[in-house]
């Protein structure tokens, strides 16, 4: 048996946060007492785990000894019935925990009994032994497609409508701001963005998903299975852009890629890029001495975070700031079938620069390897709150960007886009100067 120290993910039931991120969607938990609160606190923490509904008020079967011995399907049936009566929601999603799956409760069968309910209700198998909350996120979207969207009459495709997928709600602490910035960038191209997560994005946005001209996935691997299913069910093509765009280099490349995929006027996107880069480099140039002439930071960095964050931050630090990468540690338990492709993304930086990638969810092993690295000065470590003590030990600089974060409150901040790149520079070098003083 292998013991993990400081794991960076939770069980598949943590996908309840993806359900909650759909406005007026109600997670119904078929599990033991306390699961929802503990999972939400671990995933979201200081980035907020409330909203239209709070995890402490999710409908839950709270199964105990009686259900373990005799089965919990009757209890689930009772909770669903009462939830539909008293909860004011537009979509109900039943999620299963470890114990209920072990005793053999058939949540699909119970949920099928409510096929004619006034509000739609679907089921998702999310026991902890089956996978992580990141995989659970994919399973929630697949269930939306298979159990809800495919059963609805489909309207005609809407010209210019683009579904945006990528940041995982709550698990990406900046998910809301990142999605909104992706929406803004797509809008500037003259397209109409559609996202199902966040405020004012509810069942109406879910209903429009099959009518999109194409799906846009901004993620190294999370969501690929969903895009393939959408293409299979509705014939919708998808653009897979693996890197969350941060800063001028990647955001300009992102705009060009989306424009080309959509068949838009290249002159328009070039004018848009020129406008944004002119502003971006103005701010960068007026502060260049701060960034490049300080004596308190090494020109080398390492990341300890998700594949999405590691890739986005690495491309920004290398391509925009000219820093050099040490090992990049990817911690969300990327499935083996995706690891080779994800590692290849870290061989595609400017100037032929490549970064070594280590897939590890074991904080002890990660920290041991970082301590053995040569940073040629004070290292820059970008990760979770688990890396803060390590950075102090190495007299390094630190920025917390991923769960568990518990370092800052994040309401609407984003590192995506041109302005997000400037924000990331501010945060990195603010911490550099604070550690120096």
- Give SS3 for 96: strand
Widest Cα–Cα separation across the chain:
70
Q: Is the pLDDT of residue 155 over 70?
A: yes
Instruction: State pTM to two decimals.
Output: 0.94
**What is the architecture of the domain spanning 283-436?**
3-Layer(aba) Sandwich (3.40)
Provide the residue ranges of all domains of the chain, joining segments of one domain with +.
12-151, 161-281, 283-436
Q: Is the pLDDT of residue 70 over 80?
A: no
Give tens-digit pLDDT for 399-413.
Answer: 999 988 888 888 889
CATH number of 12-151: 3.40.50.1980
Give tens-digit pLDDT for 301-348.
Answer: 999 999 999 999 999 999 999 999 999 999 999 999 999 999 999 999
3-state secondary structure 15-29: HHHHHHCCCCEEEEE
Query: What CA–CA distances, in Å, run from 258 to 126, 214, 248, 261, 415?
Result: 34, 10, 15, 5, 19
CATH number of 161-281: 3.40.50.1980
What confidence category does residue 437 fall into, taking pLDDT thresholds of 50, 70 and 90?
A: low
Query: What CA–CA distances, in Å, run from 323 to 146, 351, 355?
Result: 45, 12, 12
**Cβ-contact 381, 325 below 8 angstroms:** no
């Amino acid at each position: 048996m292998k013991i993990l120290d400081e794991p960076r993910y939770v069980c598949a039931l943590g996908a309840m946060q993806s359900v909650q991120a759909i406005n007026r969607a109600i997670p119904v938990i078929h599990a033991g007492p306390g699961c929802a609160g503990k999972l939400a606190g671990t995933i979201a923490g200081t980035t907020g785990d409330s909203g239209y509904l709070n995890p402490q008020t999710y409908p839950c079967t709270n199964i105990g000894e009686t259900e373990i011995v005799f089965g919990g399907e009757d209890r689930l049936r009772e909770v669903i019935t009462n939830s539909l009566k008293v909860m004011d929601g537009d979509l109900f999603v039943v999620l299963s925990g470890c114990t209920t799956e072990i005793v053999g409760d058939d949540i699909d069968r119970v949920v099928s009994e409510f096929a004619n309910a006034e509000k739609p209700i679907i089921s998702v198998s999310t026991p902890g032994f089956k996978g992580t909350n990141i995989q659970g996120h994919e399973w929630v979207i697949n269930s939306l497609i298979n159990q809800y969207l495919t059963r609805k009459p489909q309207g005609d495709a809407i010209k210019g409508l683009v579904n945006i997928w990528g940041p995982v709600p709550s698990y990406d602490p900046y998910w809301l701001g990142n999605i909104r910035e992706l929406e803004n960038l797509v809008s500037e191209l003259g397209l109409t963005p559609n996202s199902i997560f966040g405020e004012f994005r509810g069942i109406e946005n879910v209903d429009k998903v099959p009518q999109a001209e194409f799906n846009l996935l901004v993620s190294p691997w999370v969501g690929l299975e969903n895009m393939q299913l959408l293409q299979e069910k509705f014939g919708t093509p998808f653009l897979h852009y693996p890197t969350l765009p941060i800063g001028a280099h990647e955001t300009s490349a992102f705009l060009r890629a989306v424009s080309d995929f959509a068949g838009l006027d290249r002159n328009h996107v070039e004018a848009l890029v020129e406008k944004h880069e002119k502003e971006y480099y103005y701010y960068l140039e007026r502060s260049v001495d701060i960034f490049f002439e300080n004596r308190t930071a090494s020109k080398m960095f390492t990341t300890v975070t998700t594949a999405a964050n590691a890739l986005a931050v690495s491309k920004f630090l290398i391509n925009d700031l000219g820093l050099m990468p040490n090992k990049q540690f990817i911690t969300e338990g990327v499935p083996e079938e995706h690891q080779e492709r994800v590692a290849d993304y870290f061989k595609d930086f400017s100037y032929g620069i490549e970064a070594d990638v280590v897939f590890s969810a074991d904080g002890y092993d990660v920290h041991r390897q970082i301590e053995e690295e040569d940073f040629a000065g004070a290292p820059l470590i970008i990760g979770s709150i688990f890396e803060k003590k390590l950075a102090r030990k190495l007299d390094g600089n630190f920025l917390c960007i991923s769960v568990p974060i518990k370092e800052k409150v994040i309401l609407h901040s984003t590192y995506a886009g041109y302005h997000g790149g400037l924000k990331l520079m501010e945060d990195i070098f603010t911490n550099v100067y604070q550690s120096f003083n």
